[in-house]
């Protein structure tokens, strides 16, 4: 083609340049828009993390119910007590009931100094939270904290990390300084286990049926449409369904009365089993759809090569299709479970306990979960509960992060194994 033709088809050099300029400009504009969206998302994420971290650490101003100097003269801190003084105070000041329980759990003589100090602080000194400050104020607004202390006789400030080892192992308590999430953590883990055991086999099975067996007829198309719709139903509606079906209608089963013969159950069907089944229903459509996508991604040529040597449908699915899609199925399931892990509304609706300090012992126990606990703490008016809620959020986020990383790790591992074998 000669240059004359070129001009006829694409215009003069100038035309080409003008158009090119416009095309470049267009590209740059869109790039800027996308960058802005990403920056905005990052900004909100940073704000979220900042706000959580801010309320998880910081100064707490406390007032003691009993000053240590009134226990042992001229000693301003329990930590300066001698061993003899610690034991003496413990025996003389603890109420008879508490003393008996403490001695039963572990004799005072056998306890270390640190354990005795903690014991005396919790039961005798009884520091009470007056006011809490966030990390930001603690670092940059210490003056205000000092002023507050000056105004309040006998108050003192302690820098506190609300996430700490005792927070993880303590159960619920009306005293924010001693409250923890152990019960909620166990509740969450139990529930997620029930959800997994219920939703994984059914979800994967349903997906295999729909993808590999179901004929393309009106009934199956309606079924598919329904599953899509179910995955978009708000979670609170699953809560109402769970309340009606698992808690009320199936109470004899979900309370354990029918199976274990538990008669005095106070749970009334508001058990881990009910909660797990409700969340199972919630994630079922997600697992089904995800598994279907995973099965769709398996090339048909693999199925054909299996049928070609005389395999049945089930042999094809079990030996070739499932192994080829297992990584996706697994990661999708873990992600669905992490969604269930963070659900609050349906569990509140079916009646997660507001205050229990007994660890769940099985699927027929009453329960509370981490998100429910966060919800309840954040609804309290006292400031210290907000710090507890934040600390629990940190724990929840870390757990979710672990779950999601596990998903990514497993996927990479299975993929590598597949590549090596193939």
- Where does this chain bind another protein (CB under 8 A)? 215-216, 299, 301-312, 315, 319-320, 324, 418-422
Min dist. Cβ of residue 1 to another protein (A): 28
* SS3 letters across 184-239: HHHHHHHHHHHHHHHHHHHHHHHHHHHHHHCCCCHHHHHHHHHHHHHCCCCHHHHH
Residue 123 or 307 having the CB closest to another protein:
307
The whole-angstrom separation of Cα 2 and Cα 21 is: 25
Instruction: Pull the structure tokens for residue 76.
Output: 């301003």
Going edge to edge, which strands form the sheet with 155-161? 127-132, 57-64, 155-161
Residue 323 or 342 having the CB closest to another protein:
323
Give the number of other Cβ atoms within 10 Å of residue 193's Cβ.
Answer: 14
Residue 303 or 386 having the CB closest to another protein:
303
Residue 53 or 302 having the CB closest to another protein:
302
Min dist. Cβ of residue 196 to another protein (A): 28
Min dist. Cβ of residue 331 to another protein (A): 19
Query: What is the bridge-based pairing of β-strands 155-161 and 57-64?
Result: antiparallel
Residue 330 or 363 having the CB closest to another protein:
330
Residues sharing a CB contact under 8 Å with residue 331, sequence separation 6 or more, in sequence order: 407, 408, 410, 411
Residue 150 or 422 having the CB closest to another protein:
422
Residue 24 or 313 having the CB closest to another protein:
313
Min dist. Cβ of residue 228 to another protein (A): 21
Min dist. Cβ of residue 291 to another protein (A): 19
The whole-angstrom separation of Cα 146 and Cα 126 is: 22
Dihedral (Cα; 238, 239, 243, 245), 10-degree rounding: 10
218 exposure class (CB count in 10 Å sphere: 0-12, 13-18, 19+): exposed
Min dist. Cβ of residue 222 to another protein (A): 17
Min dist. Cβ of residue 287 to another protein (A): 24
The whole-angstrom separation of Cα 235 and Cα 339 is: 11
Residues sharing a CB contact under 8 Å with residue 405, sequence separation 6 or more, in sequence order: none
Residue 169 or 304 having the CB closest to another protein:
304
Instruction: Pull the structure tokens for residue 283.
Output: 């994630």
Residue 270 or 303 having the CB closest to another protein:
303
Which residues of 27-114 form beta strands (DSSP E)? 57-64
Residues sharing a CB contact under 8 Å with residue 269, sequence separation 6 or more, in sequence order: 246, 247, 248, 250, 251, 254, 255
Min dist. Cβ of residue 308 to another protein (A): 4
The whole-angstrom separation of Cα 408 and Cα 404 is: 6
Min dist. Cβ of residue 292 to another protein (A): 16
């Amino acid at each position: 083609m000669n240059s004359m033709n070129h001009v006829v088809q694409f215009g003069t050099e100038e035309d080409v340049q003008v158009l090119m300029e416009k095309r470049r400009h267009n590209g740059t504009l869109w790039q800027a828009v996308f960058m802005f969206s990403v920056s905005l998302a990052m900004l909100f994420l940073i704000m979220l993390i900042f706000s959580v971290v801010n309320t998880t650490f910081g100064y707490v101003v406390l007032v003691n119910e009993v000053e240590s100097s009134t226990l042992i003269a001229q000693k301003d801190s329990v930590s300066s007590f001698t061993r003899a003084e610690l034991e003496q105070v413990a025996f003389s000041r603890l109420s008879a009931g508490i003393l008996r329980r403490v001695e039963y759990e572990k004799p005072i003589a056998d306890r270390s100094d640190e354990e005795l100090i903690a014991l005396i602080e919790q039961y005798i000194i009884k520091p009470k939270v007056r006011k809490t400050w966030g990390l930001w104020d603690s670092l940059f607004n210490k003056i205000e904290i000092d002023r507050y202390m000056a105004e309040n006789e006998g108050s003192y400030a302690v820098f506190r990390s609300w996430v700490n080892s005792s927070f993880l192992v303590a159960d619920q308590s009306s005293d924010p300084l001693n409250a923890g999430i152990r019960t909620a953590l166990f509740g969450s883990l139990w529930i997620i286990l029930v959800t997994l055991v219920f939703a994984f086999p059914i979800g994967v099975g349903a997906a295999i049926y729909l993808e590999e067996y179901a004929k393309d007829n009106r009934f199956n198309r309606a079924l598919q449409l329904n599953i899509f719709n179910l995955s978009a139903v708000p979670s609170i509606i699953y809560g109402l369904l769970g309340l009606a079906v698992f808690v009320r209608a199936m109470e004899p089963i979900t309370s354990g009365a029918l199976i274990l013969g538990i008669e005095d159950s106070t749970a009334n069907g508001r058990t881990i089993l009910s909660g797990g089944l409700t969340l199972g229903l919630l994630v079922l459509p997600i697992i089904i759809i995800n598994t279907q996508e995973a099965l769709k991604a398996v090339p048909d040529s693999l199925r054909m090569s299996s049928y070609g040597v005389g395999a049945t449908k089930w042999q094809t699915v079990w030996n070739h299709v499932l192994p080829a899609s297992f990584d996706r199925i697994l990661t999708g399931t873990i992600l669905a479970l992490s969604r269930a892990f963070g659900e609050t509304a349906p569990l509140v609706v079916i009646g997660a306990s507001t205050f229990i300090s007994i660890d769940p012992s099985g699927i027929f126990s009453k329960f509370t979960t981490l998100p429910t606990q966060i919800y309840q703490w954040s609804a309290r008016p006292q400031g210290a509960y907000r710090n507890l809620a934040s600390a629990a959020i940190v724990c929840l986020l870390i757990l979710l992060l672990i779950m999601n990383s596990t998903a990514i790790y497993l996927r990479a591992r299975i993929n590598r194994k597949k590549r090596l074998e193939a």
